[in-house]
Each structure stands twice: as C-alpha cells, then as structure tokens.
Amino acid sequence: MDAQFWDERYATREQLFSGAPNGVLLAEVTGLTPGQALDVGCGEGADAHWLARQGWQVTAVDISRLALERAAAAAPDTAGRVAWTRADLTVVPPPAGAFDLVSAHYFPLPRQPEHTALRGLLEAVAPGGTLLFTGHRLAGLPPAAELGLDPADFYRPDEIAGLLGQDWAVLVDETRPRTAPAPSGTHHTHDTVLRARRLR
C-alpha cells in the first residue's frame, strides 16, 4: 500500500470518495476549540476542508500525489488554512507536540513490534490535545483473502486505547453504526471510534 498503489487506486475514478466529511469527525470535533490539526491520510480532502471552515489550521497529509492535487483543487475557499503535504507517516513521523487534534479515519496504520509509527502519531498530539482514530468494525467484513489484505495487520482503535498510558484520558472507546451508508460494494456498517485527550 505504497504511493504507487494509492495513486493507481485514485486514478480508477475521477472522485474516489463522497466528498463529505466523516460523520465521526463531525460528531467528535464539533465543539472543540479550533487550533492546529493533523489530518492523517487526508485523501481527497473532505475532512481537511471541513476542519478549515470550522477555524482549524490544518496540515493534511497523504502518500498519494493525485489525492493531494484533487484535494487542493476541490475548495479554493480553504486556501491558506490547509497545508497539503505529501508524506508517508509510517516512515517519517509528524512534529512532536505540534497539534491540538490528530485525526485519522480508516487509516491503514501497520502494526509494528515497537509501535514506531503509532508512537509518532501519539507524540504529535500537544498536551491538552485530542487524538481521534476511527476504523472499520471487523465483524461482518469479508475474509482477508477476499479483501486482499489482513485487517489483523493494522491497528484498531480499541487496541490503541489499550496502549495509551497515564498521560492520556480515554473519552470514547466504542463501536457505533455508521452515520452515512458505506461506499457501494463494501460491507462496512459500523465504526470503531477512539477519542482521547493528552493530559501532559
């Protein structure tokens, strides 16, 4: 799932995703005081544009050049409030303590023995800031062979909740129905959601 994989996937359609921000983002971030946000795996930019319109200054990161080009062109009104950044966050961590919100929705973060990439994302949250991590509920998904990957190879929100230490307060750790229908041809009916606040 490298840059070539994602560029080729985005190239299969003029628009791969709905263009609407994730429902979990709206539910969990509305009411937070805007600050610096990191949108992890921003894709075509719907979440980043929504955050910018709420007053956040957004660093939107994706590995796909094509996705970032589409995102930047999609909403000229957010120019100046979103920095579109091509990077692989599983290799190069974001700046430590730089973000009041780190938001990752359905981001395939590969499990590592030393949790290196995960630690990089956690350390990017500033004291007092929020981590929001959303994934697919595994129950009901097709077998790994059908998906072309094994979901067990990637971190789940509830697993991340269990790895957080005393520097964190877990505010939400639950499974809930999707707020919008799943994309055509998928079997994704429920989200698993983690929202945590970094205490220090």
Has residue 121 got a pLDDT over 70? yes
Map out the domains of the chain with their CATH numbers.
3-7+36-198 (3.40.50.150)
> pTM, whole model, 2 decimals?
0.87
Distance, in Å, from the CA atom of 136 to the CA atom of 160, rounded to the nearest integer, reads 14
Q: What is the pLDDT of residues 168-200, one digit of tens each?
A: 999 999 999 987 766 555 567 799 999 999 999
In this structure, the number of other CB atoms found within 10 A of the CB of residue 134 comes to: 21
Q: Are 82 and 60 in contact (CB under 8 A)?
A: yes
User: What's the average model confidence in pLDDT over 108-114?
Assistant: 91
